[in-house]
Amino acid sequence: MLFLHHGSTSVCAIKVRLALAEKGLPWEGRVLDLRAGDQHRPEYLALNPNGVVPTLEHDARVIIESTLILEYLEDAFAQPGLMPADPWQRAQARLWMKRIDDTLHAACSSITFAIAFRRVMLRLSPQALEAHLARIPDVDYRERQRASIEHGLDAPGVVRSLRDYDRYLADMDAALARTPWLAADDYGLADIAATPYVNRAAMLGLEGMWQGQRPHLAAWFDRVRARPSFDVAITRWIAEPERDRFTVDRATVWPAVQRLLGEAR
């Protein structure tokens, strides 16, 4: 049996839900409340010492790290295949995923906290906020969150995060001018891995990063959203608390981000 410990809107968990949906695999799972700190409970840390989602259990064997979970699902459940057959294209697919692990994911969390989650986190008392941050095992992740919560878009790391995001989207647009999907002619793990990050940018009011300027990326996102897996893995998981967390003042966010991106160039 496949059992997924996940989060309703967590980008890394969405990758795994997308792969499960695309492969048509039955699974069960448990949604962790990341704001309530479920990821820091001892019984969860025993499965995933990094205190993050997702964690997959397959017949009681544990796999952590979303990229590795995608690769595991591809190895364990070969059909339908989600990796290209050509070795060079396979390397490209892995590079898209590696770049997420190396930079895009960190950029995403710093921007998400600065634009959206900050508002909800600042409802906590200073003591409760500090206690929440103190439980995050990864010091870099903790300090990124802290800076974004305290300073919003003015946090020191945010400009760099926006630039990293923008570069990834620019490279996606260039690649999608050559092939219909990111690494090949067929939809695959690279597309799955990138989907929640493009969708997150849309949820944060940053569609201007592609609309009107990156037509191949815009068309790719339309095709991704039209796949049944998008509804199954993403839309259905958004309930009222998530809507509250992602309430964004779109009229001010995009102009502010445009200004910061302009300064970074």
Residues that bind ligand GSH (CB under 6 A): 7, 10-12, 34, 39, 52-54, 65-67, 101, 105, 136
Q: Are strands 28-31 and 2-6 parallel, antiparallel or unpaired?
A: parallel
SS3 58: strand
The phi, psi pair for 163, rounded to 5°, reads: -65, -40
Shortest Cβ 219–ligand GSH spacing (Å): 26
Other CB atoms within 10 Å distance of the CB of residue 50: 14
Shortest Cβ 143–ligand GSH spacing (Å): 13
Q: Which is nearer to ligand GSH, 103 or 179 (CB)?
A: 103
Taking the C-alpha atoms of residue 244 and residue 252, their distance in angstroms, rounded to an integer, is 18
Can you read off the two tokens belonging to residue 160? 């760099």
Q: Which is nearer to ligand GSH, 10 or 195 (CB)?
A: 10
Q: Which is nearer to ligand GSH, 23 or 200 (CB)?
A: 200
Measure Cα distances from 63 to 12, 55, 58, 210 in Å: 13, 6, 8, 34
* CB distance 47 to 61 below 8 Å: no
Shortest Cβ 87–ligand GSH spacing (Å): 24
Shortest Cβ 103–ligand GSH spacing (Å): 12
Shortest Cβ 83–ligand GSH spacing (Å): 18
* CB distance 12 to 52 below 8 Å: yes
Q: Which is nearer to ligand GSH, 33 or 263 (CB)?
A: 33
- Among the residues of 39-121, which ranges form H helices? 42-45, 66-76, 87-99, 105-112, 118-121
Q: Which is nearer to ligand GSH, 57 or 101 (CB)?
A: 101
Shortest Cβ 185–ligand GSH spacing (Å): 27
Can you read off the two tokens belonging to residue 15? 């990758």
Taking the C-alpha atoms of residue 140 and residue 137, their distance in angstroms, rounded to an integer, is 9
Shortest Cβ 117–ligand GSH spacing (Å): 9
Q: Which is nearer to ligand GSH, 67 or 161 (CB)?
A: 67
Q: Which is nearer to ligand GSH, 66 or 229 (CB)?
A: 66
H/E stretch holding 6: strand 2-6
